[in-house]
Amino acid sequence: MGRPRKALLDRGRIGRTALELVDETGDFTVPEIARRLGVQTASVYHHVEGRAGVIELLRERVVDDLDPAALGVRPWDAALEAWAHSYRSAFAAHPRAVSMLMTSPVRAPRVIEQYERVAGLLLEAGFAPETVMPVITGLDNIVLGSALDMSAPEVMWVVGEESQAPRLALAQAATGPARADRAFELTLAGFLAHCRGLLGA
Amino acid sequence: MGRPRKALLDRGRIGRTALELVDETGDFTVPEIARRLGVQTASVYHHVEGRAGVIELLRERVVDDLDPAALGVRPWDAALEAWAHSYRSAFAAHPRAVSMLMTSPVRAPRVIEQYERVAGLLLEAGFAPETVMPVITGLDNIVLGSALDMSAPEVMWVVGEESQAPRLALAQAATGPARADRAFELTLAGFLAHCRGLLGA
């Protein structure tokens, strides 16, 4: 609606349209992207390598919202902390894309470049090579689990009658809407402290 | 295929069928469930309150695979550790359900009962009421983030040429297929240590 039917097609527009569809419906198909852009399905395939290629364009759109300064912070743990916050905000805007992006291999050069910087940061800090991927993956899981949780309802556990789950009701009332943010801060703090301990050991 | 067209309808079968559809396609609709069970859509609605009700039946099916003994372990941190492992295994079998279940309020009585036990365990251990939900939510995010990661490809970052991301390539080669499990163990260990520290403070 309101889009020119013969708009110039480029990879940026394909990625943005795929992301819009995922935000709205939880998924995309290449014919749906073509329809929304007013072009033939074959034209989309001319610009991108299949469905997996579209997922990478979509991934680049989300990752473009990360703060590029975060990974320049020092020391390494402050960089990871800043990156985790920025990364969580970027993905919280697109919770329906999280699952798709977590289960498809990362090929997008701009995203590979971010992880290369994180791997370099950890190696320079003194982490053993075999510990670098577990640290990166652990941080990814915390961030993306929390990004999904940010789109959860404010009251996540609906206790029908308080007598049925009195301690859960008490705990929910005590935290209120701060639940998601406090969970993230607590988990990230524990994670970074543990990583500092791994370096010291 | 092969199912009797007039099978007896019950909530267990509706939940199982919804879970099958989510495992296969990433989503379900009530008419699809009805078709697969060989009944009218209205008959399904007779047994369950709308789409949200079906999500709760599906949630019960997944949570039924948790080890009921885990939360009986003592002390509290050993119980959380056993529960987290069991919970991760149960959800790793259904990665496409994770996002749906994390973003819908929990109403299923058998699931509320599990969280009531966890809340009780933490309160008894001495956690302040306002810290209980952040701890539960943090553990949920770690477990569900990791369950999604378990269905990720073994090589998650596809480095086209090693020279393009040499440190990422080195780190991936050093960890290999142990990446997902080591990330979970590292994150869970850090989380539990941090929680023990909160109690001591």
CB contact under 8 A, A141 and B137: no
- The pLDDT of residue B164 is 87
DSSP state of A155: S
Instruction: Tell whether A127 and A47 lie within a shared domain.
Output: no
Instruction: Tell whether A36 and A74 lie within a shared domain.
Output: no
| Number of domains, chain B | 2
**Which DSSP string corresponds to A44-57?**
HHHHS-HHHHHHHH
Residues 75-114 of B with CB under 8 A from A: 95-96, 98-99, 102-107, 109, 112-113
Instruction: Tell whether A171 and A109 lie within a shared domain.
Output: yes
User: With contact defined as beta carbons under 8 Å apart, do B146 and B90 qualify?
Assistant: no
C-alpha distance from B40 to closest chain A C-alpha (Å): 25
Instruction: Tell whether A153 and A96 lie within a shared domain.
Output: yes
Assign B154 a pLDDT band (cuts: 50, 70, 90). confident
Instruction: Tell whether B1 and B93 lie within a shared domain.
Output: no
As given in the structure block, the two tokens for residue B199 are 């109690």
| Whole-angstrom distance, CA of residue A194 vs CA of residue A145 | 19
As given in the structure block, the two tokens for residue B162 are 């090693």
Q: Is A64 on the interface with B (CB under 8 A)?
A: no
CB contact under 8 A, B174 and A113: no
Of A64, A85, A116, the position where a domain reaches its end is: A64
One-letter amino acid for residue B78 of the chain: A
CB contact under 8 A, A138 and B186: yes
Q: Is A26 on the interface with B (CB under 8 A)?
A: yes
Rounded to 5 degrees, what are φ and ψ at A32? Answer: -65, -40
Is the pLDDT score of B25 beyond 80?
Answer: yes
Assign B163 a pLDDT band (cuts: 50, 70, 90). low
How does pLDDT run across B42-64, given as a tens digit for each residue? 999 999 999 999 999 999 999 99
Residue from B98, B131, B141 whose CB has the most chain A CBs within 10 Å, to mutate? B141
SS3 helix, strand, coil % of chain A, rounded to 5? 75, 0, 25
Of A64, A89, A107, the position where a domain reaches its end is: A64
Mean pLDDT score of chain B: 92
Instruction: Tell whether A47 and A121 lie within a shared domain.
Output: no
What secondary structure, in 3-state letters, does chain B show? CCCCCCCCCCHHHHHHHHHHHHHHHCCCCHHHHHHHHCCCHHHHHHHCCHHHHHHHHHHHHHHCCCCCCHHHCCCHHHHHHHHHHHHHHHHHCCHHHHHHHHCCCECCHHHHHHHHHHHHHHHHHCCCHHHHHHHHHHHHHHHHHHHHHHCCCCCCECCCCHHHCHHHHHHHHHHHHHHHHHHHHHHHHHHHHHHHHHHHC
- A63: Cα within 13 Å, side-chain hemisphere: 18
As given in the structure block, the two tokens for residue A50 are 């299949």
Closest CA to A102 of A139, A69, A77, A67: A139
Closest CA to A70 of A57, A56, A95, A88: A88
As given in the structure block, the two tokens for residue A25 are 């419906």
Instruction: Tell whether A56 and A87 lie within a shared domain.
Output: no
CB contact under 8 A, B130 and A170: no
| Whole-angstrom distance, CA of residue B116 vs CA of residue A81 | 32
Residue range B126-147: mean pLDDT, rounded: 96
How does pLDDT run across B67-76, given as a tens digit for each residue? 989 999 999 9
* Chain A CA closest to residue B193: A190
CB contact under 8 A, A130 and B175: yes
As given in the structure block, the two tokens for residue A159 are 């206790």
Burial string for A138-156 (b: 16+ CB within 10 Å, else e) reads bbbbbbbbbbbbbbbeeeb
Instruction: Tell whether A35 and A122 lie within a shared domain.
Output: no
Assign B160 a pLDDT band (cuts: 50, 70, 90). confident
Instruction: Tell whether A25 and A10 lie within a shared domain.
Output: yes
Residue range(s) defining the domain that contains residue A46: 1-64
Instruction: Tell whether B48 and B77 lie within a shared domain.
Output: no
Q: What's the ipTM?
A: 0.91
Assign B104 a pLDDT band (cuts: 50, 70, 90). very high
Contacts (Cβ under 8 Å, ≥6 apart) of B55: B18, B100, B101, B104
- The pLDDT of residue A201 is 66
CA distances in angstroms from B44 to A180, B12, B13, B149, B190, listed in the order given:
34, 12, 10, 33, 45
Residues of chain A with pLDDT under 50: 5
Q: Is A24 on the interface with B (CB under 8 A)?
A: no
Residue range B80-84: mean pLDDT, rounded: 98
C-alpha distance from A94 to closest chain B C-alpha (Å): 12
C-alpha distance from A102 to closest chain B C-alpha (Å): 6
- The pLDDT of residue B162 is 64
The enclosing domain of B42 has a CATH number of: 1.10.10.60
- The pLDDT of residue B2 is 54
Of A38, A64, A90, the position where a domain reaches its end is: A64
Instruction: Tell whether B59 and B81 lie within a shared domain.
Output: no
The enclosing domain of B122 has a CATH number of: 1.10.357.10
Instruction: Tell whether B176 and B98 lie within a shared domain.
Output: yes
Q: What whole-number percentage of chain B has pLDDT above 70?
A: 95
Closest CA to A28 of A44, A43, A9: A44
Burial string for A53-82 (b: 16+ CB within 10 Å, else e) reads bbbbbbbbbbbeebeeebbebeebbebbbb
